[in-house]
Amino acid sequence: MIAVSLLEVKQLNLSLRTHTGLAHILKDVSLRVEAGERVALVGETGCGKSLTLKAILGLLEGKGLVVSGKVLFEGEEILGTPRILRLRGVQIGFIPQDPAASLNPTFSIADQLLAVVRRVRRNLPKEKAWALIKEALVEVAVPDPDRVLASYPFQLSGGLCQRVLIATALVNRPKLVLADEPGTALDVTVQAQTLRAMRHLTEKSGSSVILVTHNLGVVREFADRVYVMYAGTIVEHGPVKSVFQTPRHPYTRALLDSVPRLTGGGLPQGLDGHIPDYTSPPKGCRFRPRCAFARPECAEEQPLRQVAEGHEVACVLYAEVPRG
């Protein structure tokens, strides 16, 4: 029997009808997540990382979209099928980006957590359900959980709201958690605590995570493997250690070089130019117009090529490296 990945995204393409024409946003995005694995999806604003998450969650139907490709959860197709509705909030949890805007202001925290618990355990006695949600908050290091449960979102700080959302996503022990920039809206000390809580909890429950972020430091601290996205394409992916120690793709290298270092050494150079217009993206490698190493061959499609154990790069510079 061939082992089935927990989640597999195959050749996901996504286009959006706009008034200036069809915007080809995601191009052949493929990724996979194994059980218990923490995977990061990193890229700058507008590279399609949040769209990829929403496509997996089935939150993009209609809306002038043209979608093709496959999203397999435990080997079964969930893209465009009603199956995702049963999985969402049960087997697949979601942690949204903006903590304050993602909780319903008219319900107490307890009501919102209970509603999620009831998706799975409809007949759980009230006391048991209450104990369960209280425990969920304790797990994410919420001080004074009784007060928090009785509160409405506006009575809590951003950090507390974020932890409540993490607790909500994890209370049903989903197999997969999708996190969209958790902690970005928070202070750096609270962000550090939030990420620790998330790592601790998912480790304990054995859940897999896809973490979407623009912060390379967060990737290094949190994830086992990383996918680097540029303009709707995966340009490089591999184990975090391998990618951070020997980044191959010119974009990954430029991105890493743009991060100011705590050790000093002066300001980084940064990168010129901007992401292409999605209605007429460059043929072949989409990074070509900004790339210092661009050659004529870059106008051809660049498949991902293996450069090290589990580390693949979509760049013509590595065409010569033999497979394996």
Partner 1 sequence: MADILLEVRDLTKEFAVGRKRVRALNGVSLGLEEGEILAVVGESGSGKTTLANLVLGIEMPTYGDILYRGTPLKTPRPLHMRRRLQYVQQNPWTTLNPRRTVFQSVALPLAVHKLTPPRLWRERVAELLHLVGLGPEFLDRYPHALSGGQRQRVAIARALAAQPEMVILDEPTSALDVSVQARVLGLLLEIQARFSLSYLFISHDLAVVRNFARRILVLYRGQVMETGPTEVVFRNPVHPYTRLLLASVPVVSEEEAALRPSWPWDAQDRLGPGEGCPFSSRCPWAQELCWRERPSLVPIQKSHLVACHFAELFVEEVSHHG
267 binds partner 1 (CB under 8 A): yes
Decide: is 50 part of the binding site for partner 1 (CB under 8 A): no
Contact mark string toward partner 1, 105..144, x via CB under 8 A = --------------------------------------x-
Q: Which one, of 44, 57, 162, lies nearest residue 103 by Cα?
A: 162
DSSP assignment of 34-74 equals: -TT-EEEEE--TTSSHHHHHHHHHT--SSTTEEEEEEEEET
DSSP 154-182: GGS-HHHHHHHHHHHHHTT--SEEEEEST
21 binds partner 1 (CB under 8 A): no
Residue 145 in contact with residue 171, Cβ under 8 Å? Answer: no
> What residue has token string 């010129």?
272
Options 12-20, 109-117, 167-175, 253-261: segment touching partner 1 (CB under 8 A): 253-261
DSSP annotation of 280: S
Assess 265 for contact with partner 1 (CB under 8 A): yes
- Residue (12 or 201) nearer to partner 1, CB: 201
Q: Taking CB under 8 A as the rule, does residue 192 contact partner 1?
A: yes
Tell me the window of 116-124, 202-210, 264-272, 277-285 that interacts with partner 1 (CB under 8 A).
Answer: 264-272
Part of the chain binding partner 1 (CB under 8 A), chosen from 50-58, 90-98, 182-190, 310-318: 182-190
Q: Which of residues 88-107 bind partner 1 (CB under 8 A)?
A: none
Considering only residues 218, 231, 298, 304, which one is a binding residue for partner 1 as defined by CB under 8 A? 218
The helix (H) or strand (E) run that includes residue 109 is helix 109-120
With contacts defined by CB under 8 A, how many residues of the chain interact with partner 1?
A: 40
Please provide the distance, in angstroms rounded to a whole number, between the alpha carbons at the two ends of the chain.
23
193 binds partner 1 (CB under 8 A): yes
Q: Residues 144, 212, 96, CA angle at the centre, nearest 5°?
A: 45
Q: Pick between residue 45 and residue 123 the one whose CB is nearest to partner 1.
A: 45
